[in-house]
Structure formats: structure tokens, C-alpha cells
Amino acid sequence: MRRTYLVDIGNSAIKWAGADTPQHTGVITYGDNVMLAEQVRDFYISEKPELIYACTVANSEKAQTIREVCNMTRIEFLGSQKAYEGRFRMENRYEDYSKLGPDRWYAALGAVAKHPARSLVIVQMGTAITVDSVRFVSPEEYAYLGGRIAPGPTMMFTSLRAGTARLKGEMGTWARTPLKTGDGIATGIADCIEGVIRGGLRSFDQENEPLLILTGGASHFFEDFYKKFFPKYVIEDNLVITGLSLRVKNERRNE
């Protein structure tokens, strides 16, 4: 069997896993394309992939770097689907499904696989924050309803520092009544994120209360804070890889 891998290319990190062992993931972090190329080369030498299924929301330079380094490997970039039909069916109700960020689609598939038989709000906290809704129709049927997009915490922080003359300190911690600039910034950013999450939760009525799922690199950083406001949420890592695995296994089965 070919050495097949799943790769999630983000704006600041890459996650990868073997297609048959999606629960065991590796992470590549990078600051620039030179560092990216070096670390992808290490992955390429150690894992020797023959086929890669990739999902990317990063700029085209990062995808091209991976193509160049893994030049002897077949790479297929998987976009969003009109519908997924496998272990369950999920309809994509985005206005133009081809323009939906594939990380959002595969994270939603992964979330349903891990938490079936209920509606979900999936919050990906990375460079950007996305808050997506999945409606439970029946144990075999779900509907992806789209969602909200906002700047991530790091983007908010760097934007403040770049666009203001005096907000140059480090980020502090959340406080009910912030008395220091750093705490004021941290509190403002956290409150913005809280607001966009509440907006996602309000997309459901009380009779169909969704499970709130947080994922992404920044989710653990805010874990203690959000427990105060969303005590029933869960954190799940590697939802995109899980969703990619569902599609790849389903298409292999149908070959």
C-alpha cells in the first residue's frame, strides 16, 4: 500500500498524519518559507510519502514550497464539497461551496464524527477565528450552515500595536475591571472573541442547543477564561485531519 499522508496547511503551522492513523499527528511550525522548506524536507526524508492529500488556507507560496520539496510525491489538494456522503451525510449550504475555506468544512466533518447526534458550533482559533454551525437533522443527516469570521487574537494584538501610538506593551491577562494597558488589551481581545462565539450560539434556538467545540492553536491559551462563560464547551485537536481522513477513507472505499 502506498505511504499516504493527510496534511493540513495553516497560516502558521502544518499538521500531518498517516492516512491510516489520523489520530497520531505531527506539527510543523515555521516563521518563513526558508524554515518551512527545511522542516518539510525533514518530514519528507523521514516519512517518505508517496501520496499526500492536503487541505490549505495558507497563501499559495506555502503550498508551492511543499510541492517543490516533495517533488517526487503526488499531492492532491482537497477543497470543500457540496455534500459529504459516507458514515453520515452532511449537506453544505454555503452560497458557493467552492469558496468555503476547506479547513472549515473538514473541521465540521471531524466534529460531527467525534460528537454525533447533536448540533454543533465549531470555533477554530488560529490566525483568524471562524465560528461555524452544524445542524443535527437525524443520526445520519447534518447540515453545515456556514458561520462567522473574525481576526484571531494575535492578529488583533499586532493590529493594535501597529495602528496606535501608545499601545506598545505586552498583552496582559483578562480582568473584569482592567487597570493596566496590557490587561485592557487582553480583556478587549478576549471579550471580542466571547462575543463572536455567542453570536454563533445564538444561531440555534433553545430546543436545539448545540455543543460548543473549540479547536486551533489559540484555544488552549484561552481555556481557563472561556470556562467562566462557556462551562460546557470541549476542546478538540486535529479536527481538520479527522475530516480529511473521513473523505479519503470514503473515496478509497468507493474506488
Structural domain harbouring 188: 83-243
Same domain, 71 and 185: no
Rounding to the nearest 10 degrees, give the CA dihedral for residues 166, 168, 170, 176.
20
pLDDT tens digits, one per residue of 96-146: 999 999 999 999 999 999 999 999 999 999 889 999 999 999 999 999 999
For residue 145, give Cα distances in angstroms to 64, 86, 172, 203.
Answer: 31, 19, 35, 9
55, part of any domain? yes
Contact 73, 51 (CB under 8 A): yes
Name the residue type at position 132.
Answer: D
Indicate if the pLDDT at residue 160 is higher than 90: no
Model pLDDT, residue 243 = 97
Indicate if the pLDDT at residue 37 is higher than 60: yes
Model pLDDT, residue 255 = 61
Same domain, 217 and 157: yes
Model pLDDT, residue 254 = 67
249, part of any domain? no
Selection from 36, 35, 39, 5 nearest residue 22 by Cα: 5
Residue 192 banded pLDDT, cuts 50, 70, 90: very high
Residue 166 banded pLDDT, cuts 50, 70, 90: confident
39, part of any domain? yes
Domain boundary among 43, 61, 77: 77
Selection from 8, 19, 2, 1 nearest residue 246 by Cα: 19
Task: Enter the pTM of the model.
Answer: 0.92
255, part of any domain? no
- Comparing 200 with 161, which gets the higher pLDDT? 200
For residue 85, what is the enclosing H or E element? strand 83-85
Distance CA 195, CA 189 (A): 10
Where residue 23 sits, what CATH number does that domain have? 3.30.420.40
Weakest-pLDDT range from 47-51, 137-141, 175-179, 222-226: 222-226
Same domain, 221 and 95: yes
Domain boundary among 50, 77, 104: 77
Model pLDDT, residue 103 = 95
Same domain, 24 and 112: no
Same domain, 227 and 165: yes
Same domain, 212 and 115: yes
Which residues lie closer than 8 Å to 83 by C-beta, 6 or more apart?
89, 90, 91, 92
Bridge-partner residues for 8, per DSSP?
A: 15, 55
Model pLDDT, residue 245 = 96
Model pLDDT, residue 174 = 87
Same domain, 45 and 87: no
Same domain, 61 and 107: no
248, part of any domain? no
Residue 33 banded pLDDT, cuts 50, 70, 90: confident
Per-chain mean pLDDT for the chain: 90
Model pLDDT, residue 195 = 95
Distance CA 154, CA 50 (A): 36
224, part of any domain? yes
250, part of any domain? no
Distance CA 249, CA 245 (A): 6
Same domain, 213 and 88: yes
24, part of any domain? yes
Name the residue type at position 158.
Answer: T
pLDDT tens digits, one per residue of 75-97: 999 999 999 999 899 999 999 99
Percent helix / strand / coil, the chain, rounded to 5: 40, 30, 35
- Comparing 52 with 29, which gets the higher pLDDT? 52
Residue 63 banded pLDDT, cuts 50, 70, 90: confident
Same domain, 156 and 210: yes
Helices first, then strands: H and E counts in the chain: 7, 12
Same domain, 49 and 107: no
Cα 171–Cα 173–Cα 178 angle in degrees, nearest 5: 100
Same domain, 117 and 52: no
- Comparing 20 with 166, which gets the higher pLDDT? 20
pLDDT tens digits, one per residue of 211-244: 999 998 778 877 877 888 898 899 998 999 999 9
| DSSP conformational letter for 171 | -
Domain boundary among 77, 94, 113: 77
Indicate if the pLDDT at residue 1 is higher than 60: no
Rg from Cα positions in the chain: 19
User: Which set of grid coordinates corresponds to residue 139?
Assistant: 443520526
Query: How many folded domains does the chain comprise?
Result: 2
Indicate if the pLDDT at residue 194 is higher than 60: yes
Q: How many residues does the chain have?
A: 255
* 54 C-beta neighbours (distance < 10 Å), count: 21
